[in-house]
Amino acid sequence: MLFAKKKRRIERILLVEDEPLEAFDTEHFLNGEGFTIVATVDSVADALAWIDDEEEIDLVLVDVRLSDGNGVDVAHAAKARGIEALFVTGDCPPEARWLAAGWLAKPYPQRDLLGAIEAIETLIGGKRPEKLPGSFSLFAGLA
């Protein structure tokens, strides 16, 4: 098939966000783009439980400031399991950048979220992305 979509490297996403409206909008948008949201959770504890128990997570979208702690702990657990993380937050702590593939600065347009995920997929595939969304910072290392 000439115009077939390429197989995604990132399909299953864990969404860690404690703002209900933002979580709902992000989940709805990503589902509409063909991603599977394995869970949407609002706490560090729930995110850690999913990371420990879920067999297939390709990417964790994680806010840094959560009601019960710090999303950096979530990214650390994801990295330990070889799962990529993307910080989705207003301000990313510089010391946490080695834990994640990148940082998408809030507020961001939904197309930037999609572009950030595509950039991470490109890196996983062994190439450098040609263009990055304006609100996205790509970090040096991948898990």
pLDDT tens digits for range 30-57: 999 999 999 999 999 999 999 998 779 9
**Where residue 117 sits, what CATH number does that domain have?**
3.40.50.2300
Per DSSP, helices labelled H in the chain are 20-32, 44-53, 71-80, 110-124
Number of independent structural domains in the chain:
1
Cα distances (angstroms) measured from residue 37 to each of 24, 69, 72, 95? 11, 22, 20, 28
pTM score:
0.91
In a domain? residue 63: yes
Full domain range(s) for residue 122? 12-137
Residue 7 covered by a domain: no
User: Does any domain span residue 1?
Assistant: no
106: which DSSP letter? S
**Which pLDDT score, from 0 to 100, does residue 1 have?**
47
pLDDT in tens, 99-132: 999 999 999 999 999 999 999 999 888 888 988 9
Is 37 domain-assigned?
Answer: yes
Whether 87 is in a domain gets the answer yes
Is 86 among the domain residues? Answer: yes
Residue 4: inside a domain: no
Q: Would you state the pLDDT for residue 143?
A: 44
